[in-house]
C-alpha cells in the first residue's frame, strides 16, 4: 500500500526564478542548497519526507516517454494543504508579491476551500484548506 506522495519534480525554464517563487512566495523551506539545475524543498515537515523539486533539463528515463521531445512534460496542477487559521497570512504573502490569486473555490464534497495561483512556468498551484473541524 502506498503510504504518501514522496516527491514531485517540476520541469522549469529557470531554476533560480522558480526556486525564488516556491521559497519566497509560497514559503517552502529548502531541503538542500540550490544549483542552476536543481532546487529541492520540503513540502511539509522534514520528517514527512515529502519534497518538491524544480529542475531544468532531462529526468531519468525520459527517453522512454511515448511523447515527442519537447512535449514529454507539461503544465500541471497540484495542491498544498494549509490550515484555515494560516490561510489569510499565506494569501497575504502571495498578494504582497503581486502574484494574481484566484478563489476561493468551495468544495462541499470534501469540506474545503481552495485558492489558486500560477508559478512562473504556468503550473497551477492550489492552496487547499479543509474546513475547521472537518479532519
- pLDDT tens, residue by residue, 32-89: 999 999 999 999 999 989 999 999 987 767 777 777 877 766 678 899 999 999 999 9
- Residue 130 β-bridge partners: 112
N-to-C CA span, the chain = 22
| d(C-alpha 98, C-alpha 59), whole Å | 32
pTM, full prediction? 0.86
Nearest to 21 by CA among 10, 32, 6: 10
What does pLDDT average to over the chain? 90
Query: For residue 63, what is the DSSP state?
Result: G
pLDDT at 126 over 80: yes
Give me the pLDDT at residue 2, please: 61
pLDDT at 27 over 80: yes
Are 66 and 22 in contact by the 8 Å Cβ rule? The answer is no
Q: How far is CA 118 from the centre of its chain?
A: 10
Domains of the chain and CATH, by start? 7-60+73-130 (3.10.180.10)
Give me the pLDDT at residue 103, please: 95
Q: Which helix (H) or strand (E) segment is 88 a member of?
A: helix 87-95
Amino acid at each position: 500500500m502506498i503510504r504518501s506522495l514522496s516527491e514531485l519534480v517540476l520541469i522549469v525554464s529557470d531554476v533560480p526564478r522558480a526556486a525564488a517563487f516556491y521559497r519566497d512566495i509560497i514559503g517552502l523551506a529548502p531541503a538542500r542548497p540550490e544549483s542552476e539545475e536543481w532546487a529541492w524543498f520540503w513540502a511539509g515537515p522534514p520528517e514527512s519526507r515529502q519534497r518538491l523539486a524544480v529542475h531544468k533539463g532531462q529526468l531519468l528515463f525520459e527517453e522512454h516517454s511515448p511523447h515527442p521531445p519537447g512535449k514529454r512534460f507539461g503544465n500541471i496542477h497540484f495542491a498544498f494543504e494549509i490550515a484555515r487559521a494560516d490561510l489569510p497570512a499565506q494569501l497575504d504573502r502571495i498578494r504582497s508579491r503581486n502574484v494574481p490569486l484566484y478563489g476561493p473555490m468551495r468544495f462541499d464534497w470534501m469540506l474545503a476551500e481552495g485558492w489558486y495561483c500560477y508559478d512562473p512556468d504556468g503550473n497551477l498551484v492550489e492552496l487547499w484548506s479543509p474546513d475547521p473541524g472537518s479532519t
